[in-house]
Amino acid sequence: MKELLIGNAALARGLYEAGCSVISSYPGTPSTEITEEFAKFNDVYCEWAPNEKVAAESAFGASLQGKRAACCMKHVGLNVAADPLFTMSYTGVNAGLVICVADDPGMHSSQNEQDSRHYAAAAKVPMLEPADSQEALDFAKIAFDISEKFDTPVFIKMCTRVAHSQSIVEKGERTEVCKEYVKNPRKYIMAPANAIARHPFVEERTAKLTEYAETSPVNRVEAGSGSYDFGIITSSTSYQYVKEVFGDSVTVLKLGMVNPLPVKLIKDFAAKVGKVYVIEELDPVIENFCKTIGVDVIGKDKFSILGEFSQKTIANAFGMEEKENVTLETDIPVRPPMMCAGCPHRGMYYVLAKNKITVLGDIGCYTLGSMPPLNALDMTLCMGASVSGIHGFNKAGGSETEGKTVCVIGDSTFMHSGVTGLINIAYNQSNSTVIILDNSITGMTGHQQNPTTGYNIKGDPAGKVDLEALCRSVGIRSVRVVDPYNLEECEKVVKEELAKNEPSVIISRRPCVLLKYVKPKKPLRVNPEKCRGCKRCMKFGCPAISFRDGHAVIDNTLCIGCGVCAGLCPFDAFESEGE
Amino acid sequence: MATKNIMIVGVGGQGSLLASKLLGRLLVDEGYDVKVSEVHGMSQRGGSVVTYVRFGEKVYSPIIDEGEADFIVSFEKIEAARYIKDLKKGGTVIVNTQQIDPMPVIIGNAVYPDKVLDEMKDKGVNVDAIDALSLASEAGSAKACNIVLMGRLAKYFDIPYDKWETAIAKIVKPAFIEINKKAFDLGYNN
């Protein structure tokens, strides 16, 4: 049956059909659904690992044992998994091993715009790049075949528009694949003597993969029907934009494998079409390769290194007429994402902002605390950097910053890579206060379980890390738990912990209001007789409260009745229904 | 036929996912090539969200660009205006008249532009405004706003009414089929 699937779901289906039996991943937009969808299949093992390095190594272990395995991550997650990646390239695999990585050109939900293709080249690992959902499904099978045939991990590179676009796929049947585990120290123990012996294998493998790329159907030339004096080399979603603009009129070399790149295929293509444009998002990876092998191409001179493309990008570059449209004179106010009404993070941020505390932040929903009106954050870098960062900040600042600085990190991010930073704080003793914003879920990526929630990816009971005990066990003596809906308590505890001359942890604990088991209360309403229009409640930045005709008003479709605003009002104007 | 383009725009959390799922299911059943594209993650947290639905004989790009949309279905009054540059000349805007203040308005840094629908009409845009929230409540759930708007969109297509109903039954949980069919009917017939 034909079905409409997002690229990530199609990829999950392809991995399943290819006989993949184990997936270990850490969530990250736009990669998360690959693992979530795979978890829905029976008779396979699927898990959320604490971070991408653990996930990649777990998948490697499964491959070593003899089962086809995969791990999935967003582009920045690959930085975390880079350590095992580079050496897995040397060991190769037993059963097939696939690493799915999803880039985010345009940074819809990311802190940078890095191009994962560099990792494929640097680690000398082949990389397939599907352009729609059907290719995502098909390439998963090809990836496993390449992995076993050439003894290498294989990348499948997604991007936001392929990962999150639905297109039609035909499903197939699953094939079971099992390899025997045979002890092979020279292949799998990467101590210097063995690694030295493996390096030539890696180089020979790349040469063989290049041969494969020359003739593999994943790379194809589509002859154009028009009379253009140029041809286009492209891949991924850029291919779709090219086809949208040119249809079948222009000759295209559509690359499904972006590492290693085919030399002869590109040279022959260039010889046939004359002028060659390379249309690729982000860095000039294909372009630079072409230039290295002596093929003159036009790439980043015409197509930006920044952000996403679209059909308009292509049409504009080739001087085509713009489509007629309508524009308005009225300025439309921006609508940035924000913390939800009732979000537990808001209470803690309100307290920190009120006390003008320097706040080093981390990756998650709570990055939104940087937005007006709270403006509560000073720094956000990468997963875990808040905890490591505050240590350095306070070591450098001494008494100037200690007592006035905290860091904030979510429960999942703390598990990912915050705990190592905390160990550094405890070991090298900086007078730092770490606030764990524990909303009992991985929020921003859409509610994934993590080691602190007590449930696994299927929602079944699992091991549960006790955050308080963990922090104490690494050497933090002062560990406090507060309810972020209780602003008075939060303020008191933050001040007390900042005043102490030792490392401390505050766990700000209340579950995300979007969790199904969190039952909303009845919305509050503002008594216009009591509201004097002082706007103190507006400093809280709750999307359910707005100001109309001189008074605060509550949007009862958004308010979940958390009641924190009631405590902020000096005139008791916020009332629960029925009062 | 030329590819048709529908944009569904609104505020994160308003339920555009179900609307695009309905369209996707229906259009695949009708035998079209279909692409549906949306962005997950950060932008869903109360921010402005957009979903692209494209269908025809062969669809390449998953996104809709400036001047290409035949329809913009907007779940909120000013969100239609935010994406108006993407509307094709002579295109139609179906808009829920519900007002949801964005944060700059909430904190007093900006004013909610009340008259944008009039400005659109002045510029020759076909504006089909509908109080979908009230109709959804009438159907039995304020959350059915999305299906009310799909009912209104359906009026502009040649696809038979019962095909839409069949698609609704395929994508919503059995307990919610009746509410959603009523919501669809109210959107279609008001």
DSSP labels, A143-171: HHHHHHHHTS-EEEEEEHHHHSEEEEEE-
Question: Least CA distance to B124: which residue of chain A?
Answer: A326
Domains and CATH numbers, chain A: 2-215 (3.40.50.970), 220-317 (3.40.50.920), 344-509 (3.40.50.970), 524-576 (3.30.70.20)
A276, A233 contact by CB (below 8 A):
yes
The mean per-residue pLDDT over the stretch A158-177 comes to 97
Tokens in use for B34?
């279909």
Domains identified in chain B, total number: 1
Contact (CB, 8 A) for A144 and A68:
yes
| pLDDT over threshold 70, residue B41 | no
At A54-68, the pLDDT tens digits run 999 999 999 999 999
Whole-angstrom CA distances from A108 to A34, A93, A131, A156 are 18, 34, 19, 20
Residue A260, preceding peptide bond in cis (omega within 30° of 0):
yes
Beta carbons of A43 and A20 less than 8 angstroms apart? no
With CA atoms as reference, the chain B residue closest to A110 would be B42
Q: Give the distance between the most distant pair of CA atoms in chain B.
A: 49
Q: Is A499 left (phi over 0), alpha (psi -120 to 50) or beta?
A: alpha
Round to whole Å and give the CA distance between A537 and A341. Answer: 13
A160-173 average pLDDT score: 97
Which residues in chain A are contacts of B133 at CB distance < 8 A? Answer: 557
**What pLDDT sits at residue A35?**
98
Enter the DSSP assignment of A320: P
- Set of chain A residues whose Cβ sits within 8 Å of the Cβ of B63: 161, 165, 310-311
For A260-304, how does the pLDDT look when each residue is reduced to its tens digit (9 = 90+)?
Answer: 999 999 999 999 999 999 999 999 999 999 999 999 999 999 999
Q: What is the pLDDT of residue A112?
A: 97
A119: DSSP letter = H
| Angstroms from B170 CA to nearest CA on chain A | 13
Mean pLDDT calculated for residue range A556-567: 93
Beta strands in B98-185, from DSSP E residues, in sequence order: 126-130
Show the tokens assigned to A483.
């309810």
Domain membership of residue B140 as a residue range: 4-188
Reading the block at residue A171, the tokens are: 């499903």
User: Tens of pLDDT along B90-116?
Assistant: 999 999 999 998 989 988 889 999 999
On whether the CB atoms of residues A102 and A31 are closer than 8 A, the answer is yes
Residue positions counted in chain A: 579
| Entry pTM | 0.97
Does the distance separating the beta carbons of B112 and A332 come in below 8 Å?
A: no
Distance CA A49, CA A15 (A): 18
| Contact residues, B window 62-101, toward A, CB-based 8 Å cutoff | 62-63, 65-68, 78-79, 81-82, 84-89, 100-101
Using CA of residue A226, residue A228, residue A233, residue A239, what is the dihedral sign? negative
Tens digit of each residue's pLDDT (9 = 90 or more) over B124-168? 999 999 999 999 999 999 899 999 999 999 999 999 999 999 999
DSSP states of B141-160 as a string? -GGGHHHHHHHHHHTTS-S-
Could you count the other beta carbons within 10 Å of the beta carbon of residue B174? 7
Of residues A474, A468, A478, the one with CA closest to residue A431: A478
The CATH number linked to B26 is 3.40.920.10
**Residue A578 predicted with pLDDT over 70:** no
Q: What is the pLDDT of residue B132?
A: 97
The encoded tokens of residue A42 equal 């029976």
CA A15, CA A99: separation in Å to the nearest integer? 11
**Interface with A, mutate which of B42, B83, B88, B115 (most A CBs under 10 A):** B42
Mean pLDDT of A160-170: 97
In one-letter notation, the amino acid at residue B67 is G
Out of A29, A237, A555, the one facing B40 most closely (by C-beta) is: A29
Q: What is the pLDDT of residue A207?
A: 98
Whether the per-residue pLDDT at A137 is higher than 90: the answer is yes
Contacts of residue A111 in chain B, CB cutoff 8 Å?
A: none
Q: Which three-class secondary structure state does DSSP give residue A16? A: helix
Q: Are B65 and A240 in contact (CB under 8 A)?
A: no
Cα of B189 to nearest chain A Cα, Å: 25
B121 near A CB under 8 A: no
